[in-house]
Amino acid sequence: MSTLNELCDCDDLGVLSVRGMDAVKFLQGQLSQDVAQLDARRPRFAGLHTPQGRVIAILQLLPGAEGAIHCILPRELIDTVAATLRRYILRAKVTLADDSGSLFVIGAASGGVRTLGVAGARAGAAATLTREAWRALDIAAGLPQVYAATSGEFVAQMLNLDCVGGIAFDKGCYTGQEIIARAHYRGRVKRRMQPFRTRRPVAAAPAPGESGTLADGRTFRVVAGTLLEDGRAAFLAVAAREADPAAAVAGGEAWDVERLPLPYALPD
């Protein structure tokens, strides 16, 4: 990547803002991130989960003006997340607002460092990266995401949320915490998110929620995908960490893909 500043309009992402004197305390009880430790310079991943530990949505959190906390997530999940959070507000002094019409999500890269931010206007003509190019960088970086097709389908560790700093194991309780902590302390997670790339050009990128089989017999479910400049596709998918040689399938029945390395290590 160039060392020059590069921008991307992430128009499919929106902003759900949480405001009020109890905003931090409220989100602390709902999200897997330690909300009290947010940094305005860089968003932090957080998961919103069902009581069974399944990921409803993955948010990227940024503190805003006057104590607001901006939650960046796919626009298609904003209503779902808002409705979920409202069920737990009770007497907390908190308001939720979809600010996607006034705050726009912009990806910025400089010197090999990438981050998301919110602004009052789109990057527009200043954008130098397409959304597909930015998504390819996300896939190469092993960054998880959840869409409507996969909301509630995966436990947090299946999406490597623990590997990207999205789970604070030393904070207090939050919805789904017991299941997530048990997976962390008591056993190895057998299915993990992994990056793949097709060996040949394809007509379309694998869609979130799409399923398939690898040549070694492992089944997978797509997390996110994008087309590359050469016509091939890169995608993240949840699959078993180890292959079963006895389950190998014929080439015509398996996806013709290669596994790519993750930039971080998966826990043993």
Q: Read off the pLDDT of each residue in 148-170 and give the average, rounded to a whole number.
A: 97
Cα 239 from Cα 91, distance rounded (Å): 41
Residue 268 scores a pLDDT above 90: no
3-state SS record for 145-206: CCCCCCCCCCEHHHHCCCCCCCCCCCCCCCCCHHHHHHHHHHCCCCEEEEEEEECCCCCCCC
Identify the three-state secondary structure at position 26: helix
CA distances in angstroms from 184 to 111, 157, 170, 192, listed in the order given: 34, 8, 12, 13
* d(C-alpha 140, C-alpha 236), whole Å: 9
pTM greater than 0.85 (yes/no)? yes
* Alpha helix positions (H), the chain: 23-28, 78-86, 131-140, 177-186
- Band of pLDDT at residue 111, cut at 50, 70 and 90: confident
**Is a pLDDT exceeding 50 seen at residue 85?**
yes
Q: Are 236 and 142 contacting, i.e. CB atoms less than 8 angstroms apart?
A: yes
- Spacing of C-alpha 4 from chain mean position: 26
- 51-72 tens-digit pLDDT: 999 999 999 999 999 999 999 9
pLDDT for position 141: 96
- What's the pLDDT tens digit per position in 6-24? 999 999 999 999 999 999 9
Q: Over the stretch 116-134, which tens digit does the pLDDT of each residue have? A: 999 999 999 999 999 999 9
Looking at residue 35, the DSSP 8-state letter turns out to be G
Structural domains of the chain, with CATH: 6-184 (3.30.1360.120), 190-259 (no CATH)
- Residue 247 predicted with pLDDT over 70: no
Average pLDDT, rounded, for the chain: 93
242 Cβ contact list (under 8 Å, min separation 6)? none
